[in-house]
Amino acid sequence: MATLPEGWKRFLGAIGDALSYPIIATQPRPITVVTLLCVALFLVAAFWLSRRLQAMLRLRVLARLSLDPGLEFSILRFVHYAVLALALLFALETLHVDLTGLAVVAGILSVGIGFGLQNLASNFISGLILLIERPITVGDQVTVGDVDGHVRAINMRATEIVTGDNISIIVPNSEFISGRVVNWSHGDPKLRLRLSVGVSYRSDVEQVREVLLGVATRCDDVLDDPAPDVDFVRFGQSSLDLELHAWIADPDRRDEIITELHFAIRAAFLEEGIEIPFQQYELHFRPEADAADGARQDRHQRPARRQSIPYRSA
């Protein structure tokens, strides 16, 4: 039987010593590089198992319960976290690693969190709060700061929001907990639209009111209960300002419905002869006063003329 050369034996021995080098001394077995590699393999297998388990739950269990997408996402996310946590504990137990010896690692991580990982820890905890309290869920229409779109996923560190232009924006989870968030779909999905309209002072406001109510009633997306109404807001500088209130059932289509109502209002006003004024300015010219002011200004700005006196000898 062929034997390895001495060089290869020393090389493999050095690799074996490096892999078995105790990183953390615990009882009954220290944590070595091999231990960390085995734990990593356990976690990779746990990720694969979690994906298969989530797919099975989604297709065979949750599909029959007819849950809303947000609650279904939260359940599957907690299943994913539970599988990873159990896999980590099982890996450490299988490798005979004393869990009490990991207190040193926990202390090191706490120091790291205190100095540089506080944002990561805050976002992770905020993500758990979002999944438990569910102030926002997957599929909700939300506004965070200047970001407006649908919630696509709530991950461990951040939440993915897709705008109307199909642009994915990653928002840290802590902003949903510490900041002010507008959730257009939370609880009752009905939404009231406010459409401001200005008409000429010569218009009949009762006629304008009836026209606006007719436009809202003829729109299929506007709800009959609550019924649409019109408010007389103010006497503006150049117009009578009114506001149409209309309730819709689908907040996701509010921009499309507003556009449809605007087109319908414009067409109805043209048909009824209702004028929509625009801001105008009146300029008054005074030619005689302007000419006098110009002459006066020229006289002040014109340099003084010198008069020459001829010299006469005695």
pLDDT in tens, 214-223: 999 999 899 9
Instruction: Clarify whether residues 263 and 213 are in a common domain.
Output: yes
Q: Which pLDDT does position 311 carry in this prediction?
A: 43
| Cβ 254 vs Cβ 191: under 8 Å | yes
Calculate the average pLDDT of the chain.
78
Closest-CA residue to 26 (of 79, 78, 92): 92
Residue 140 is assigned to a structural domain of this protein: yes
CATH of the domain at 205: 3.30.70.100
Beta bridge pairs of residue 248: 191, 222
What pLDDT digit, counting tens, does each position of 52-74 carry? 888 888 888 777 777 767 677 77
Predicted pLDDT of residue 185: 77
pLDDT score of 99 more than 80: no
Q: Are residues 166 and 226 in the same domain?
A: no
pLDDT at residue 312, rounded to an integer: 47
CB 91 within 8 A of CB 101: no
Residue 8 is assigned to a structural domain of this protein: no
Report the pLDDT value the prediction gives residue 75, as an integer from 0 to 100. Answer: 81
Q: Say whether both 22 and 91 belong to one domain.
A: yes
Residue 5 inside a domain? The answer is no
Mean pLDDT throughout 284-292? Answer: 62
Joined together, the tokens standing for residue 23 give: 């990183």
- What confidence tier does 252 reach under pLDDT thresholds 50, 70, 90? confident
Average pLDDT rounded to a whole number, residues 148-168: 87
pLDDT on residue 314: 39
Query: Distance between CA 224 and CA 189 in Å, rounded?
Result: 15
Q: What integer pLDDT is reported at residue 55 of this predicted model?
A: 85
Q: Give the pLDDT confidence score for residue 29 in this predicted structure.
A: 63
Is 32 within the bounds of a domain? yes
Tokens of 118: 């506080």
Position 289 pLDDT exceeds 60: no
The whole-angstrom separation of Cα 112 and Cα 205 is 67
Assess if residue 113 is contained within a domain: no
114 in any annotated domain? no
* ∠ CA 176-180-183, rounded to 5°: 75
Q: Do 204 and 244 share a structural domain?
A: yes
Reference 19, options 29, 10, 31; nearest CA is: 31
Enter the pTM of the model: 0.55
Lowest mean pLDDT among 157-161, 273-277, 285-289: 285-289
pLDDT at 38: 78
Running DSSP on this structure, what letter comes out for residue 3? Answer: -
Lowest mean pLDDT among 45-49, 73-77, 299-303: 299-303
Are 177 and 242 within one domain? no
Length of the chain equals 314
Close Cβ partners of 133 (under 8 Å, ≥ 6 residues apart): none
Indicate whether 210 pLDDT > 90: yes
Same domain, 197 and 179: no
Question: Residue 212 sits in which domain range?
Answer: 191-272
